[in-house]
Homo-oligomer: A and B are copies of this chain.
Amino acid sequence: MDEFEIIRRYFSTGSVRRSDVALGIGDDAALLTVPAGQELAVTTDSLLSGVHFPADLDAAAVGHRALAANLSDLAAMGAEPTWALLALTLPSADQDWLAAFSRGFFALAKKHHVALVGGNIACGPLNITITAQGLVPTDHALTRKGAAANDLIFVTGHPGDAAAGLRLLQSGRADMEDTCVRRFAYPEPRVEAGAALRGLASACIDISDGLLADLGHILEVSGVGATIMTARLPLSKRLLQLHGMEGGQQLALTGGDDYELLFTAPSERQRAIEERLGKLACPVACIGSIEATPGLRCLEASGHGLKITEPGYKHF
């Protein structure tokens, strides 16, 4: 089975149709229409076997997760996902793997009405690189810049769950129905929440590298500091059950792999934020505040500073 047959069999029929795709898979490039008044948001993310997910993770989860990582980046911009390209390098044309991968990929793509418009297939160590594109009204995108002193800091969902799920998977005793395992294997990018935060959030980022590391990016670009109240971290029951309060906080702050949104906003918008995200059934918690003093501080309920060993994943 050559690459054209792989494309034909696994990647050319599962895609949603969009009227803004003038030409999709099957030519040297796709042709797409961007409406007036919209900016194009574009991001690319690679997932490597053994680095970003355990080598034995279900292929359906790999397909889902690779797309979710990219849609999460678009969500953090407040962009509506539209099109994706998939560059897939895989060691062999394993038909079961390909069928499951494409099922996982297209199920999430369909949910967010994303069309697969191109890609590349090559033989080599497993590497899934997706480029996702989306649209956002001109000048209304959320960025990392814009956090100001006295803004509140919010996070969606339950940070730490994905890292706990990864540890279960690595231990070899994972139940795929476990809440935390699902948060790692099938993360739900906060696409609707990101769009709902346009006009409300002053800065936004996704926390796939770890909450503190990613908050650090906002602080750096915005030129501010912050304090996180660790007691306010919205830890899930399952995370507490697995790791207790202290371990759970560490995973929530530094574990990474959570495709949740971290964002800042002036305090007078807190109610509007909770209302809008509540309508989307998206959990949101206020976990701290932005300060003029540079630096990132974590305060325990006792008022003591928390020692953070490693703010996020390092690739090299």
Contacts and interface: CB of A to CB of B under 8 A. Distances in A.
A289 interface: no
Interface string A32-45: 11101001111111
A119 B118 CA distance: 17
Contacts of A83: 42
Q: How large is the interface on A (under 10, 10 to 19, 20 to 34, 35 or more residues)?
A: 35 or more
A45 to B, nearest CB: 5
This chain's copy number in the assembly: 2
A29 B315 contact: no
29 contacts: A2-B314, A3-B314, A3-B315, A6-B316, A22-B138, A23-B141, A27-B144, A28-B77, A28-B205, A28-B206, A29-B43, A29-B76, A30-B43, A44-B85, A44-B86, A44-B87, A44-B129, A46-B89, A46-B120, A46-B122, A46-B127, A46-B129, A48-B89, A87-B87, A87-B131, A92-B316, A121-B315, A123-B315, A131-B131
Nearest to A142: B28
B51 A124 contact: yes
Contacts of A40: 31-34, 40
Given A51-B124, A123-B316, A39 B31 contact: yes
Contacts of A248: none
A133 B36 CA distance: 18
A46 to B, nearest CB: 5
A68 interface: no
Interface string A76-117: 110100010111010011000000000000000000000001
Contact of A32 (B27, B39, B315, B316): B39
A118 B76 CA distance: 15
Interface of A: 1-3, 6, 22-23, 26-34, 36, 39-46, 48, 51-52, 72-74, 76-77, 79, 83, 85-87, 89, 92-93, 117-125, 127, 129, 131, 133-134, 136, 138, 141, 143-145, 204-206, 221, 314-316
Contact of A125 (B85, B124, B206): B124
A143 B92 CA distance: 30
Contacts of A145: 27
A134 to B, nearest CB: 7
Given A76-B28, A124-B127, A143-B27, A43 B316 contact: no
Contacts of A73: 28-29
B42 A30 contact: yes
Contacts of A124: 48, 51, 125, 127
A79 B33 CA distance: 14
Contacts of A33: 39-40, 138
